[in-house]
Structure 1
Amino acid sequence: MAWQRSPVFLSLLAVLVIVLCLTAPQLATPSVRASTSPVAQGLVEQGRSLYDRDRFADAVQVLQQAVAEYAATGDTLQQAIALSNLSLAHQQLGEWVEAGEAIATALELLQTQPSSPAQQSIYAQALMIQGRWQLAQGQAEQAYDTWTQATTLYQQLEDESGSLQSQINQAQALQAMGFYRRASNLLTDLVALLETQPDSATKVLVLRSLGDTLRSTGQLQQSTQALDKSLAIAKHLALPTADIYLSLANTKRMEILEKQRISSSGSFGEVPVQPELFNKVFQLYQLASQTGSPDTRLQAQLNTLSLHVELQQWTAAQALWRPIQAALTQQIPSRSTIYNHIDAADSLTRLRQAETSIAEPTWGDIEVLLLRANQQAQQLGDTRSQTYALGSLASLYEQTQDFAAAEELTRQALFTSQIYNTADLTYRWQWQLGRILKQQGDRPGAIAAYTGAVTTLQSLRIDLAATSRDAQFSFRESVEPIHRELVDLLLQPDRDPSPAELEQARKTIESLQLAELDNFFREACLDAKEVQIDEIDQQAAVIYPIILSDRLEVILSLPRSDSAQDSSLPTLYHHTELVAATEVENTTGLLFGFLSNRQSNARIPPLTTKLHQWLVAPFESTLQAERIQTLVFVLDGGLRNVPMAVLYDGQQYLIEKYSVALAPGLQLLTPQSLRPQRLSLLMAGLSQQRPNFPEFRPLPNVVSELQNIQTEAQQADISSRVLLDGGFTKLSLQTAIDDVPAPIVHLATHGKFSAQSENTFVLTWDGIINVNELDQLLQTTGINRRPIELLVLSACETAKGDDRAALGLAGVAVRAGARSTVATLWQVADASTALLMERFYKELVRADVSKAEALRRAQLSLLHPAESDDPRFSQPYFWSPIVLIGNWL
């Protein structure tokens, strides 16, 4: 299908495919009016022919003559077009200085001409070419501004096609800056605009770009849908499909890895990989390689190489080395070329680490790739790429244990990244420097470097949360380890940490909790504020366990003591349990399985006793001496899936001695207790099974649960409202929250907590409400709007087999805007839940009872049942899964 052209425009294809890299950019035959110089016109036609045959150097010579001829005849508009096309030819040769000069001259000439539709059209297209040059130079922000200016001109000219293409380019620049959500929103708007229009190459490009952006934000299903649409239209119009196959392969690859991560039961170590699942991915990469341009072929080969390495298919990976090496030498210098060198070096480094006996590639071969990347970055004047190349070369020397060279280059990369404020690279080089100094025995220097990395990450919260889920910002590979390794340095088993080191370790754990929630939501939506425990509750203690590879570190935080040497610090105690991370995860996994299976009651005490010995027993005498009444746990890893109330000291459960609460960190708490005189209650529930969700069984006792709670509320003079079954829809809940001032919201319905926000939801009569929608519903502003003090989810469960499913529970708790959340970790008989909830509210309405104490008393009433109660409910299966997250007052 031919591209529609206007006589005053450069080829629209030339502008568009430059940015999206689908094919080599094409020159047009520009004509504003009859050329004043037939000679110049002939030169332009000759230059276009040479360019189309990839004879870019010859095209440069001919176009230079055309520029001179137009200058001699004073045809400024034609001269500007020739200069713009000359810039394109220079860019194809990697002659970036000459390309920049040509397009700058073109724009200067156009600025001297009176405004007219022809002048504005040519100016807009020159801006498109300048933006392409800027992006290739690593100037993404400038490229975005340039293309925004072009969009404004196209819209003034009512040129819809030009406007669309300039906005597509803006999305590319936004992605280059890491603003994936903004890019996704922009492209989604463009797709909607194109929906009613005939299929076209523009629609193919927008859908593919949208698919790539959605993948970057972790929306893999939506990414596949957009890419499938793009592929179908491209096939129908007989357009190239190689780049779409490449994009589909990348999305399919991430889908498989995400599913395998969730199915993995352990939080530590590598996720087991099933190579056969990736056959379709390899096929798609092969299709992209066979039919694509040289750049697309190389990208497919690089991705195939990294996948072979990931699957430990060493022979197949080694076979790709020579073809990739040859292809890299043919690429012109650009930022993408530099990154291709670095990506190849990274995969080959992992290959050499695993297969030390292979003849090639040698460490020297890999070093050559990174030296060339650094040299090209210097030639381009691309500071960011040079910083990346230097740091990657230092990483290579770290792997080969040349620590002196590694330290020197890392410091160079770090200095440059700090000078030019590339914080997303700064934290990586700070982390790398910390590792290198640790290897050289410089513990203080390593701690300082790691501390800098954590501080930089905190400053990057918004950018990191919104950026790609790909390897560059993989939370579990590039963020989480920094926090754990810093705690490891601060709390060495062979030495007693100072109070300042303990406090830094505690704050690092808090920072990790916040980072995990940012990663869960893919945005930094949480307002963190440093709070000390004594500012909340003088009779509460906080326990921070953190799982390291070879041990479990536990910190106890008590209210500040006036007699302490430094009263500005909380009173901290510390215990090291020499137990491997694998044992912690295995223990918690087994315990969760036994607790959530009512037939496994006899197997529970040994495991709950072990956890008590790890987490609480070392501090028991201190807790008693300080008369602590409430224990607050800031949990880590698989420990989140275990209700702490069930910890057992051999004689008593923890809940028999303390009120228990969970918190994702004190910095996310709002210290305020319930005010009984202001209480009101909104309840909603489902008792019937929904046909569209057969996996969720009926909850017949929900009716009595809500009725009994309503009775308790009436006796305490608390107003209440109930939405049941067909009356409980998403709309009715939103309306009720807007209309009724209810600081307590109770949802007696099925729900699921997952490590993925899109799979964390509660069920309504007409569908599901995911965690982000729940946030919007509960924080809707109405005339009588009051903050939600307490959110109760009485029939939910964590996703089985998901080691971080309880993170979804914490996510609901903090995102919903409620100061406190009560929820269930697994589904239990709804009769016992109904009874426990009734007694919870009976205690909650008392003026002197905190939420944590109310829950404790309700759980104890099941643990030690009255004669009229069902004795089966004394099993932990029935009473322990109810947990309180957030403010316990």
Structure 2
Amino acid sequence: MKFLYINFLYFLLGFSFIILPPSLSISGKDIYVQRQNIKQQKVEETSVIQLLLMAEMYLDLGNLGQVNRILNKIPEEGNIKFYKKVIEANLAARLGEYTQAITLYEQLQERLTGKIRFRLIFNHIQTLRERSSYYLWQASEELDPQSLQALEQLAKRDRQTSLQLARDNKTDLEIASILFQLSPTEVNREQLIQEAIAEEDSQTKIETLLALGEHTEAIATATRLNEPRFLSWVYGEQGKQYLQDGKLNEALASLRKAQLFANQARDHFALAQWQGHLGRLHQQLGRPDQAKVSYQVAVYAIEQIRKDVAGYRVNPLLYQQIQPILRDYLKLLLKSPQEADLKMAIKIQQLELLSELDSYFRSWCDLAPQPVNQVRQDTAIIYTIILDEQLHLIVRTDSGYYHQSVAIAQVQLNQLIYDWRKTLADPVRDRYIDGGRALYDLLIQPIHALIEGKKRLVFIQDGRLRTVPMAALIDQHHTFLLERYAISYSLGLSTRRSSGSLKRALVAGVVNNSIESLPNVNQEVMALKDLLRADVLLGSQLSKSSLQSRLQTPYDVLHLATRNQLESNVEQSRLTLGTQEITLLEFEQLLRQRSSRITFLNLSACDTATGNPAAVLGLTGIGFRTGIDNTMGSLWAVSDQSTVEFMIEFYRQLQQTPHDFSESLRQAQLQAINQDSNELRPFSWAGFILLTNHYE
């Protein structure tokens, strides 16, 4: 579904659909001057009306942290409280907090009338459309039939609600323009265009013309307003339409103008979009070198976005806008790659992974990770990249970079991975062998000669490959990959170097929670207390506040023997602490507030949504985003007793080889295989994975 162009700036910079009292409205001609004045004002020195105006402008500029600061200074009194609620609703929509935004819109519509009410309904419709798009994006990553059906039904519900709202309020010009996008036959496009042309020149007029596909008049309006950001949007939209219609030379001219105006406006998000389209256009024109230049500028713009808003909340759909640009660049780089192309492909994959994590956690990571400069002689780093018709393997060793491609459709590979994931998590039947062999032949056999003689493999995985453990891959001799190599996973970025010994540990556990009983947790906690000489929080002693308090004491190891459910939506991902459940976002904040570093985090009882790569992002990202070097967790729920025995063995091994987490994990897994023939089944040991930010 095509959104209004203005929705780009729900993600970062631009149109905010703010509604203010008539006395606060600003014409498009004055917007630039007002914005400059606001930048020079101090929040403490302004009236309530000025604060509302400042909040609007900062939201328009994408400075969401400043919006929150200003809103906290606006009192809840008289009619002002309604206008404050309007800004709060629009802020929630910008952050992707759709349910909160929609609830506020519904409440406010009952209180306000006239044009203000129509603008609220306009925002309400747009937020429903965006939430529908979010559900569909989640559905595109989902292979579980029940989850897929549920997401599609939610998306359909929001589409139908937005369509009905547009129909009921089509007397308003802006809402009628949305109805044109939702159901073109229900309105008279030419009549709407003439009505829009008759309006005073403004940002809203441009939005309406663009929604109706009238680019010539939109360009004329933006030219009269002489605002670079407006000019960038209108020329960019025109260029996209030309590209869609196959008018390549016209598209080239419009997109070049769009990127020039985006540069003038310092609108990095728009710059990334237009350079991405220019990259595709140059490829169609047979100019691969020029396409690479365009993509490189797009990458620069995306990196600038990250610097500009590090630490702020972001809309979860931002990644959906960035990903196609980076994927197209990867396809170009990996056609016939030289070493420089492989290095750039790794950089692009890392940027994509970071952006995906930011989107999942709803905020930009403010760490400054550094690429890995050296690789140990006994280690091979394996980067997997899944494109439409090919799987690409990039291997980095101490002697250089190597590339192999395997012809397989992405749809076919994803289904193979999903099916194998289900068989691995089956504690009873041995159906995992065929899938393990098939994936070994795709992932390991093509690079066997490159990794022969190495002791450690570090995987930087793409897409659905994150959901399965490489340890359980099986070769033609029925040997598991872990029997030959110590295996870990990474984002391919190093945040710091592990040092010192693992002297102090905190072990926490919950025997009973609201979902199930974990009777052996007490045994696990007490055994680790003795083994690690650890401090303990058990049962009712464990809560969010008690854990936060304990983490003001320096600990090298934090082990949580609690049931943790990780879902594709971060707000539904939860950890159990005593009688409390906290979200993964709350846990991230708790870890950020600790007084000193943690070297190792162990979430021994995780369960990730079946086969969903987004769900694994919670496990992948929590350590990296909070500056923890090594994180261990499980891809699926393992029996309580098996987990106890496995964890005790893991820590015994770790005491013998401190900081060699991957080898300690391997030895514990080998012990599980060797001690009982029933344990050859990967269910009880393969789900435990190690994620590291340091392997030089």
1:418/1:681 CA distance change after superposition, 3 Å: same
1:327/1:608 CA distance change after superposition, 3 Å: farther
1:284 aligns with 2:111: no
| Max Rg structure | 1
Q: 2:315 is aligned with what amino acid?
A: R
CA deviation after TM superposition for structure 1 residue 135, in Å:
7.6
Out of 73, 82, 86, the residue aligned to residue 204 of structure 1 is 82
1:816/1:135 CA distance change after superposition, 3 Å: farther
Q: 5+ unaligned residues in a row in structure 2: which ranges?
A: 1-15
Q: Secondary structure at the match of 2:534?
A: strand
Out of 263, 267, 270, the residue aligned to residue 422 of structure 1 is 267
Query: In structure 2, how many angstroms separate the alpha carbons of the residues matched to 1:411 and 1:265?
Result: 34
Q: 1:876 is aligned with what amino acid?
A: P
Query: In structure 2, how many angstroms separate the alpha carbons of the residues matched to 1:849 and 1:863?
Result: 23
Structure 1 contact 545–635 (Cα < 8 Å) conserved:
yes
Structure 2 contact 513–579 (Cα < 8 Å) conserved:
no
- Aligned residue for 2:39? 145
Out of 827, 837, 840, the residue aligned to residue 647 of structure 2 is 837
1:855 aligns with 2:677: no
By relative contact order (CA 8 Å, sep 6+), the higher-ranking structure is: 2
Structure 2 contact 657–664 (Cα < 8 Å) conserved:
no
Scaled by the length of structure 2, what TM-score is found? 0.90
Q: 2:510 is aligned with what amino acid?
A: L
Structure 1 contact 758–770 (Cα < 8 Å) conserved:
yes
- Aligned residue for 1:405? 250
Structure 1 contact 178–468 (Cα < 8 Å) conserved:
no
Query: In structure 1, how many angstroms separate the alpha carbons of the residues matched to 2:251 and 2:309?
Result: 26
**Paired residues for 1:112-511 under 5 Å:** 132-133=26-27, 137-138=31-32, 141-142=35-36, 144-145=38-39, 148=41, 163-187=47-71, 190=74, 193-194=75-76, 197=77, 200-231=78-109, 233-234=111-112, 241-266=117-142, 275-290=156-171, 297-308=172-183, 316=184, 319=187, 321-345=189-213, 369-463=214-308, 466=312, 469=315, 474-476=318-320, 478-492=321-335, 495=336, 497-511=337-351
1:874 aligns with 2:680: yes
1:540 aligns with 2:416: no
Structure 1, 271-280 or 335-344: larger mean CA deviation: 271-280
1:152/1:698 CA distance change after superposition, 3 Å: closer
CA deviation after TM superposition for structure 1 residue 217, in Å:
0.5
Query: In structure 1, how many angstroms separate the alpha carbons of the residues matched to 2:187 and 2:27?
Result: 35
CA deviation after TM superposition for structure 1 residue 145, in Å:
3.5
Structure 1 contact 417–423 (Cα < 8 Å) conserved:
yes
Out of 350, 353, 357, the residue aligned to residue 517 of structure 1 is 357
CA deviation after TM superposition for structure 1 residue 320, in Å:
5.3
Q: 2:523 is aligned with what amino acid?
A: S
1:738 aligns with 2:546: no
CA deviation after TM superposition for structure 1 residue 419, in Å:
4.1
CA offsets, 1:439-460, max 9 Å, x none? 0111111111111211221111
CA deviation after TM superposition for structure 1 residue 525, in Å:
1.9
- Aligned residue for 1:294? none
Query: In structure 2, how many angstroms separate the alpha carbons of the residues matched to 1:215 and 1:510?
Result: 28
Structure 1 contact 631–659 (Cα < 8 Å) conserved:
yes
Q: Secondary structure at the match of 1:459?
A: helix
1:401/1:282 CA distance change after superposition, 3 Å: closer
Q: 2:562 is aligned with what amino acid?
A: T
1:276/1:218 CA distance change after superposition, 3 Å: closer
1:246/1:418 CA distance change after superposition, 3 Å: closer
CA offsets, 1:692-743, max 9 Å, x none? xxxx211111111112222322xxxxx311111100011111111113x211
1:586/1:737 CA distance change after superposition, 3 Å: same
Structure 1, 748-757 or 499-508: larger mean CA deviation: 748-757
Query: In structure 2, how many angstroms separate the alpha carbons of the residues matched to 1:136 and 1:878?
Result: 66
Q: 1:704 is aligned with what amino acid?
A: Q
Scaled by the length of structure 1, what TM-score is found? 0.71
1:243/1:385 CA distance change after superposition, 3 Å: closer
Q: Secondary structure at the match of 2:656?
A: coil
**In percent, how many aligned pairs have the same letter?**
24
1:776 aligns with 2:589: yes
CA deviation after TM superposition for structure 1 residue 807, in Å:
1.1
Q: 2:358 is aligned with what amino acid?
A: D
Q: Secondary structure at the match of 2:607?
A: strand
Structure 1 contact 797–826 (Cα < 8 Å) conserved:
yes
- Aligned residue for 2:541? 727
Q: 1:485 is aligned with what amino acid?
A: D
CA deviation after TM superposition for structure 1 residue 166, in Å:
1.7
1:886 aligns with 2:692: yes
1:611 aligns with 2:433: no
Query: In structure 1, how many angstroms separate the alpha carbons of the residues matched to 2:483 and 2:33?
Result: 62
1:779/1:429 CA distance change after superposition, 3 Å: closer
Out of 580, 585, 597, the residue aligned to residue 414 of structure 2 is 585
CA deviation after TM superposition for structure 1 residue 411, in Å:
2.0
Query: In structure 2, how many angstroms separate the alpha carbons of the residues matched to 1:202 and 1:451?
Result: 46
Query: In structure 2, how many angstroms separate the alpha carbons of the residues matched to 1:21 and 1:135?
Result: 18
- Aligned residue for 1:573? 402
1:865/1:533 CA distance change after superposition, 3 Å: farther
Query: In structure 2, how many angstroms separate the alpha carbons of the residues matched to 1:689 and 1:186?
Result: 40
Q: 5+ unaligned residues in a row in structure 1: which ranges?
A: 1-17, 27-127, 155-162, 291-296, 309-315, 346-368, 562-570, 691-695, 714-718
Query: In structure 2, how many angstroms separate the alpha carbons of the residues matched to 1:142 and 1:384?
Result: 14
Query: In structure 2, how many angstroms separate the alpha carbons of the residues matched to 1:652 and 1:140?
Result: 69
Structure 1 contact 137–335 (Cα < 8 Å) conserved:
no
CA deviation after TM superposition for structure 1 residue 802, in Å:
3.6
Query: In structure 2, how many angstroms separate the alpha carbons of the residues matched to 1:419 and 1:240?
Result: 32
Q: 2:348 is aligned with what amino acid?
A: T
